[in-house]
Structure 1
Amino acid sequence: MEALARVLPRAATIFAIIERWPGDLASDGVIFRLTAGLHDFALSDHGGVLGALYGSGPLPSDAQLDRVLARVLDERAAALSRWLSHPTQTNEVARVAGLVAVLGELAARDGLPCEVLELGASAGLNLNFPHYAIVAGAARVGPGDARVTLAPDWRGRAAAMAPCDIIGARGVDLHPLDPANADDCRSLSAYLWPGEAARAARLVAALDVARCHPPMVDSGLASAWLLQRFAEPQAHGTRRAVFHSMVLQYASAAERAAIDFAFSLAGARAEPGRPLARISLEWRADRGAVELRVAQWDGAAQRGESRLAALCHPYGEWIEWRGLG
C-alpha cells in the first residue's frame, strides 16, 4: 500500500482510472481490486519480486519494490484495468455457516425441506453447503467425511439446529466464475489476503468439491432472476430460502430497491405451507458490523420483518449467535 502510494502517480493509465472513478473508492473496494490483480500476477509469475512480496521469499527493499510496481503498472495496465472494472469475488465459504445455522433452527421448528437460492453466487461454492460439515458450537451437521469443515468461533447462544433437507440449490451472478476453469480458480485465490493459509486451503477444498458437484449458477441481474424464480411453482410443504452474503454493497440503489420489491411481491403470495425466507449477511449501513438477518413470510404470523440473528466476522471466522427469537 505504501509502495502504491509512491508509485501510482507515475502510472498514467491506472492513476487516471482511479482519479476519474465515478463512485466511492472505499465502498467500491478499488484498492482491493487493484491489489488482487497484483496478487494474481504474483501467483501466475511464480516468483520474482512480486512473488517475494506475497510470501515466497525475502521482502524486497523499497527501491526494488517501487521499480517492479512501476513496471507492472505500466506493462500490465490493460489487465489491471480489467481487474478494476468489476467488483471483487471472494466467494468465502466460511460465511455459509450462518446460513446453515438459520436453516437448522427453521428445520428444528417445522421440519420443512428447503429450496435455496443465492444472489451474487460467484463460483457457486456456497451452494454446495450440503456437502460441507458445519460445526456451530456443540452442534454439528453435514457428512462425516466432508472435504470442507466450517467451524467458526461460536459465541453467544447455542444454535437449536436440526438437519435440513435441501431439495434444490441455485444461484445467480453478473459474472459467474467456473470452478473447472484454472484462470477463474486463480482469480478467486488472488482475492484472498496473502498469507492466510487456512482460507487458501479451504478455498482449494471447496473448489475440489465443486468440480465433483458442479453448482448451478446462472448469469444475470439478481432482481430480474429473482422475479423469474419466484414465478416458478413452489411445492406445498416446502420453504423457499434466498441467501446473499456481502453482495448489496456492490449493487446500485435501484437494484437494491428492485430486489426488495421482488421480495415484497413474493412475500404477499406466501402461505403457511409455502413460506419464504430471506437470509442476508451484509454490512450494517454504517459499516460498523456485519449482520446476519432473517426475514420470513408465511401468509400468517410472519410478515417479513427483518430480525437480527447474529453478528459475524466479515469472512466467517466467528459468529455471535442471537437466534431467531
Structure 2
Amino acid sequence: MDSPQSNLLGEGAAQAFETQSQACGRMGSPFMEKLCALIAQNGFASGAVFDRINHWNGTIGNGGDAVPLRLAGAFHRLVLDGADAGLKSVYPPNNSSDAELLSAVNQAVIKHADFILEYLKSAPQTNEVGRSALLLPAFLSLNAQYGIPFSLFEIGSSAGLNQNLPHFHYDYGSWQWGDVASPVQLNCEWRGEQPPVTNGDLHFSKVQGCDLAPVPISTDKQRMKLASYVWPDQTERYERLSGALALASKFAPAVDACQAAEWLGEKLSTAPEYGVHSIVMHTVMWQYLSKDDQALCEAHINAFGARAHARAPVSWLRFEADDNSPSGALTLTHFDGESKTPRTSILARADFHGRWIEWSPNLGKA
C-alpha cells in the first residue's frame, strides 16, 4: 500500500524533535538520532496523532513532557509486540533508508492511532539502572566515613529498580565492586580522581520510594512497557534492564503511589533514626516537578536534615540535569548533625545513561 504523505510539524514541535535527535546522538543512539531528525525535518502523516503532537498542551520538549520520547516509545512497543511488520522491518537490527523509515512511521501513525494516542498520555519511564553506577561511589564514600547502615528514601522511583543497587556488579575499568555473578553488569568508564574506599559491603536497613505513577513490573506486558523506552539500538541497556527485572523478582522494590513532596512530608516528619544514615535519593526526575513542588521537597529535606545527629546523619543525593549540558551533575547535600549549615557539593559529572563518570569530590559547591 502507498504510504501516506508527511505533513510538516509546527516550529515548536519540530524543534523538540531536533533537540531530542541531537541528545540521542550524544548519548550513543544513531537510530534514535535518525528517527527524531527525520520527524523534525519531514513531520509525518496527518491525522489524530499529528494533531495531538502538533498542538501539544504543555511543554513538548525533553525539559518538560518529553513528547518525542513518548512517540518513540509507542513505535518501539509496536515493534516489540510484533504489531507492525512495517516498523519492525526498519528497526534495529535491520538497516533502512531514510525514506523506508519515514514511510513506516507514516503508516504506523494512521494504522495504530488509538494505541499511540494512549501511549502519549504517559511520561517515558526507562528506570535506567545504569545510573546506579553514578550513585555507587557516593554511597561508598559515605559508607567509609560512617560505617553504619543506610535508610533509603527514593523519590521518582519509577519501578524502583535502582533500589537494588547493592546487588549489581560494577566495572569502572580501573576498579570493580559488587557481586560478579549478578545479572546486572554495569560498565562505566572511570575518569578523574582516585575512587573512594571500595572494600566492604553496603548495608540498607530500609529501602522505600515513591512515584506519581509507579511502573508495575509483575507481568510481561508491564515489563514490556519499560523495555519500549529503551532505545532500540542500545542492546546493553536491554541486558541491564532484563537483569534488573530478574533481581526485582527476588528483591521486590518498594514504591508508593504518591506525589514526591507529599510523600517526603510524611516520611521525614520524625527525627532521623539513630545509628542509621538516612539518604534521600533521586535521578533525572527533578525537572518534572513544578517549582512549587521542588521548593516543598527541599523544605522537607532541610527540616529533616536539621534534626540530624553525628550518629544519625542525613544526605540528599541526586543525579540531575543542570545548565552544563550534555552531562549531568551528581550532587550531595550532607547534614552531619554538627555543622550549623549543610554542605552541598558536586561530586561528579556523568553521562545520563551511566556510560562514564568524572569523579571529583572537590569540584565545587552546587
Could you tell me the TM-score, scaled by structure 2's length? 0.82
* Other-structure match for 1:109: 145
Post-superposition CA distance 1:55-110 (Å, at most 9, x none): 14442672x54443233212322222232222211111110122221111111112
Amino acid at match of 1:32: L
Name the SS of the counterpart of 1:170 in structure 2.
strand
The one of 47, 52, 77 equivalent to 1:17 is: 52
| CA distance 1:168–1:138, change in 2 (3 Å) | farther
- Asked if structure 2 preserves the Cα contact closer than 8 Å seen for 1:159 and 1:323, the reply is no
Structure 1 residues 194 and 271, CA, compared in 2 at 3 Å: closer, same or farther? same
| Selected match of 1:194 from 219, 226, 232 | 232
Structure 2 equivalent of residue 54 of structure 1: 91
Secondary structure of the residue aligned to 1:91 is coil
Look up the match of 2:134. Answer: 98
Could you say which residue in structure 2 is the equivalent of 1:298? 336
Q: Which residue pairs with 1:142 in the alignment?
A: 178
Question: What is the correspondence of 1:1-325 to structure 2 with a 5 Å cutoff?
Answer: 1-5=36-40, 8=43, 10-26=45-61, 27-28=63-64, 29-45=66-82, 48-59=85-96, 62=99, 64-136=100-172, 138-161=174-197, 162=199, 163-232=201-270, 234-285=272-323, 287-301=325-339, 303-323=341-361
* Distance of 2:95 and 2:208 partners within structure 1: 44
TM-superposed deviation, 1:281: 0.3
The 2-side partners of 1:61 and 1:91 are apart by 30
Identity of aligned residues (%): 27
Unaligned runs of 5+ in 1: none
Q: Distance in 2 between matches of 1:69 and 1:137?
A: 40
Count how many residue pairs are aligned between Structure 1 and Structure 2: 324
Q: In the alignment, is the contact (CA less than 8 A) between 1:99 and 1:243 conserved in 2?
A: no
- Asked whether the equivalents of residues 278 and 312 of structure 2 are also in contact (C-alpha less than 8 Å), the reply is yes
- How far apart are the structure 1 equivalents of 2:192 and 2:185? 21
Distance 2:180 2:104 in 1: 47
Moved more, 22-31 or 52-61: 52-61
- What SS does the aligned partner of 2:238 have? helix
Q: What are structure 2's unaligned runs of at least 5 residues?
A: 1-35
Aligned equivalents of 1:122, 1:141: Cα separation in 2: 25
The answer to whether the 8 Å contact 2:78/2:84 transfers is no
CA deviation profile, 1:115-168 (whole Å, cap 9, x unmatched): 112111111110011211223454433224222122310000122234322112
CA distance in 2, matches of 1:43, 1:148: 22
Structure with larger RCO (C-alpha < 8 A, sep 6+): 1
Bigger mean CA deviation after superposition, 74-83 or 243-252 = 74-83
User: 1:302, CA displacement in angstroms?
Assistant: 6.8
